[in-house]
Amino acid sequence: WDNYLTVSKKDASDLGLINETVANGGLDGSYVNITVEGTTLSGVPVIIQPGQAEGTMGLALGYGRLSGMKQEMQVGVNAYSLYRNFNSVQTVAIEKAAGMHEFACVQLHKTLMGRGDIIKEATLEDFSTKPASEWNHVPQVSLDHQEVPANTVDLWEAFDRSVGHHFNMSIDLNSCTGCGACVIACSAENNVPVVGKKEIRLSRDMHWLRIDRYYSSEDTFSEDNEKKDAISGAIESKRSFGEMEDPAANPQVAFQPVMCQHCNHAPCETVCPVAATVHSRQGHNHMAYNRCVGTRYCANNCPYKVRRFNWFLYNNNDEFDYHMNNDLGKMVLNPDVNVRSRGVMEKCSWCIQMSQKSILDAKREGREVKDEEFQTACSNACSNGAIVFGDVNNPESEVSRLKEDDRMYHLLEHVGTKPNVFYHVKVRNSNEA
């Protein structure tokens, strides 16, 4: 909702600039006044950006527009007043201003704190020379007081999913750059409402797909893991996990798209008192919106935190005057996806309307569905090919090949949810030579 000045941790410390999390879960930041060649831009909010080079500042253009914009969208500061004809280096004077700015930030926890089973990484050397069991270790759980691989244990009996289509999604952490195209495509395809800055600050974001961004608290994620293992928890060690919450000045960074994992043993399905969320033979975790009564049990029971609750009616409501409140905005809505009402849960549907259309088109034409026809909005939008969607029951499909790769792992596999979304270990070439 805003543009902001990015500064390094050291420069922020020297200037007395801070970012802080307030009681409602929102992020607040200091204001500064920026002067370039006699032109001053006042009241610019500041984000302390890990990895920002000391002595440099960043400020995005394109904000601060007032004409032709709804009042709710007139956000940010007009940085064009500082524009100097493509000069790549400009001398800037900065001074701290009074007040604190309210940001709409949905991820306040910036590091993994050494939890390497969320984003798995390997060096190119280990990937090339060591067995996969060493750099892609399967989590262990207890069964009859013995450690066994988590993927060999089940709380429920599995259904036969070998008949018909069974969809899976592959996400390659090596290819994801965190551009956000998948998030925008998902919102456009599935009529996801814009809830506004105030609701975002109350942790009521509505995106069906999010991109988690993590910084290392040491120089590398591998050093994070080593530090976590070295922390004993004893008082005399004077070390705690709290030290790992702060990103390094020059950290490694990783991006991870997270949507509904469409778990085969979904914990959300077992707690819904009205069976509003159920599983399909094709692998989808469904939501029956007109059956949901809004208990939010499913959101409480989801380990991936990907379910969203409609606290308000976001269409035909002047309180949310963004894109669902006038005829022009409604013309952009997808007629194949219903607009949800107040009081129901919603989440990623794996764009079921798209896969069902592919199946019906092929049926009408009397042929089999081609592998490349199975798509979701996010897989279509990913220019790097990081997201691949397809039928895992088709041995010739791309997603089947990817599922057999040594780099494949599931998110939070030790929980036992048996997700239909899987990730690929991020491989870093750490040899600078």
**pLDDT per residue as tens digits for the range 95-105:** 999 999 999 99
Check residue 315 and give its pLDDT.
Answer: 92
Decide if pLDDT at 171 tops 90: yes
Strand partners for 93:
35
- Is the pLDDT at 28 greater than 90, yes or no? yes
Burial class from Cβ neighbours inside 10 Å (0-12, 13-18, 19+) for residue 304 reads buried
Give the per-residue pLDDT at 238: 55
List of residues 6+ apart from 126 with CB closer than 8 A: 134, 135
Query: What are 119-132's pLDDT values in tens digits?
Result: 999 999 999 999 99
**Rounded to whole angstroms, how far apart are CA atoms 433 and 425?**
23
Q: Compute the mean pLDDT over every residue in the chain, rounded to the nearest whole number.
A: 91
The larger pLDDT score, comparing residue 186 to residue 114, is at 186
Segment 403-427 mean pLDDT: 95
The separation between the first and the last C-alpha atoms of the chain, rounded to the nearest angstrom, is 41
Inter-residue contact 387 to 350 (CB < 8 Å): no
Q: What are 127's two structure tokens?
A: 């990937």
For residue 115, what pLDDT band results from cuts at 50, 70 and 90?
confident
- Determine the Cα–Cα distance for residues 257 and 385; give it in Å rounded to an integer: 13
**Signed CA dihedral, 15, 19, 23, 24: sign only:** positive
Two tokens, residue 371: 């592998």
DSSP β-bridge partners for residue 212: 256
pLDDT recorded at residue 154: 83
Contact 120, 425 (CB under 8 A): yes
pLDDT-based confidence at 67, cuts 50/70/90? Answer: confident
CATH of the domain spanning 121-214+258-428? 3.30.70.20
Looking at residue 14, its pLDDT comes to: 94
63 near 2, Cβ under 8 Å?
Answer: yes
Q: What is the pLDDT of residue 231?
A: 77
Alpha helices, DSSP H, located in 171-308: 181-189, 197-200, 221-230, 267-271, 297-301
Phi and psi (nearest 5°) for 122?
-145, 150
- Taking residues 191-216, report their average pLDDT: 93
pLDDT score at 232 = 60
User: DSSP class of residue 149?
Assistant: E
Instruction: Enumerate the domain spans of the chain.
Output: 5-103, 121-214+258-428
Identify the pLDDT of residue 235.
54
Residues of 157-169 as b/e, b for ≥16 C-beta within 10 angstroms?
eeeebeeebbbbb
CB contact set of 233 (below 8 Å; sequence gap of 6+): 240
Q: How many C-beta atoms lie closer than 10 Å to residue 55's C-beta?
A: 10
In eight-state DSSP terms, residue 72 is G
- Percentage of the chain beyond pLDDT 70 is 98
Q: List pLDDT tens digits, range 369-405.
A: 999 999 999 999 999 999 999 999 999 999 999 999 9
Phi, then psi, of 133 in degrees rounded to 5? -65, -20
Coil, strand or helix: which one is 21? strand
Q: What is the pLDDT of residue 233?
A: 56
8 Å CB contact between 426 and 272: no
What pLDDT is stored for residue 1 in this prediction?
A: 83
Radius of gyration of the chain (CA): 24
Q: Is the pLDDT of residue 313 over 70?
A: yes
Task: Map residue 321 onto helix, strand or coil.
Answer: coil
Q: Residue 236 pLDDT more than 50?
A: no
Q: Rounded to whole angstroms, what are the CA distances from 161 to 284, 325, 419?
A: 12, 43, 13
- Which tens digits make up the pLDDT trace of 180-189? 999 999 999 9
User: Dihedral sign, CA of 355, 348, 377, 394?
Assistant: negative
User: Two tokens at 175?
Assistant: 């290819």
Q: What is the pLDDT of residue 333?
A: 93
Pairing relationship of beta strands 27-36 and 19-21 according to DSSP bridges:
antiparallel
